[in-house]
Amino acid sequence: MENKIKGFHHITAIAGDAKKNYDFYTRILGLRLVKKTVNFDDPETYHFYYGDEVGTPGTILTFFPWDGISSGRRGSRQVTEIGYAVPAGSLDFWLDRLEKNNVTYNKPSEKFGEAYLTFLDPDGLKIELTVPKIADERKPWTTNELGEQQALRGFHHITITTNKMDTTVKVLTDILGYRLLQQEVNRYRFITDTVAQANVVDVVEVPGEHVGHVAGGSVHHVAFRVENEEVLMHYREKIQEAGLHITEKINRNYFYSLYFREPGGVLFELATDNPGFSVDEPVDQLGTSLKLPAQYEAYREQLEKVLPALD
């Protein structure tokens, strides 16, 4: 068995209004809600998981929607952009779709030879749709309005903004196995060759940038993918040997996790492929009912009254 990081597992962000978040990601972006559960530490708050049909690692964007939360501020020591891969020829469709839905966006541009379109979600989270140089062949979740030629394939990249990149890069390369692929001015693109998609980390070094504030519209953490618990614990030992603090193994019901903060300030997670999102409901019913961690099942009736309605 190879002890390798396999790109991204999921990315978790913070939202405000739960229904606005649900409507935006399922209706406008056309992602599938693959799991509707609650925050392990705050069960009166949802935890949404959006992705492809089965919740394949590398497609999963998750949210903690806290109604009334203050807005975050993009800056250093943060993941400041989330990039999705989309098919060639689809950006005009997306421009029109964003325009019709009153979504704030910028005109398409290019970096590292790839066209991309940037927009903001209802809470100000910055998202990019990127047309990769090599077509992303992952099978997308499609809807009545989004077919194979438009639908999001899953993650393409994240961007980390930092004042000084050295220690962050050391974690990416020496621990997680990434390598520098390209540089454009102060943007450095790192990649892992263990997987073909959801495998790019851009690091932008801006010495004078103010430290960001993580709140509504911010990325909370990014999770890197490992095959199973054995590989997970291999990395725990490796991270400890590097002198970084890391949590004990945590059972998140759909994967096992470790968390550590890289020296540049971004919270990283390592998450396993197993057991997956169909462990407590069949694939054709994913996301249709509220799933609770065992410790909160006795409070189901109370929580169902408190959690916002989505329909």
**Domain residue ranges in the chain:** 8-306
Strand runs labelled E in 66-164: 78-85, 109-111, 114-120, 126-130, 154-162
What class does CATH assign to 8-306? alpha beta
pLDDT reported for residue 261: 98
* Closest CA relative to residue 138, chosen from 51, 30, 35: 51
Average pLDDT over residues 262-278: 97
pLDDT reported for residue 215: 98
Edge-to-edge strand list for the sheet holding 60-65: 32-39, 42-51, 60-65, 8-15, 219-226, 267-275, 255-261, 250-251
Sort 54 into a burial class: Cβ within 10 Å, 0-12 / 13-18 / 19+: middle
Predicted structure pTM score: 0.97
Is 2's pLDDT higher than 80? no
Q: Which residues contact 109 (CB under 8 A, 6 or more apart)?
A: 115, 116, 118
Is 129's pLDDT higher than 70? yes
Sort 298 into a burial class: Cβ within 10 Å, 0-12 / 13-18 / 19+: exposed
Structure tokens at 235: 């990395």
Average pLDDT over residues 113-139: 98
Pairing status of strand 8-15 against strand 109-111: unpaired
Percent of the chain with pLDDT over 70: 100
Is 311's pLDDT higher than 90? no
What CA–CA distance (Å, rounded) separates 193 from 214? 30
| 169 confidence band (pLDDT: 50, 70, 90) | very high
Q: Rounded to whole angstroms, what are the CA distances from 42 to 70, 147, 256, 272? A: 17, 36, 19, 23
Distance, CA of 167 to chain centre: 22
Is 285's pLDDT higher than 80? yes
Q: Is 262 in contact with 242 (CB distance < 8 Å)? A: no
Q: Rounded to whole angstroms, what are the CA distances from 99 to 19, 104, 124, 197? A: 21, 8, 16, 28
Is 91's pLDDT higher than 90? yes
Q: Is 233 in contact with 217 (CB distance < 8 Å)? A: no
* Closest CA relative to residue 190, chosen from 211, 174, 210: 174
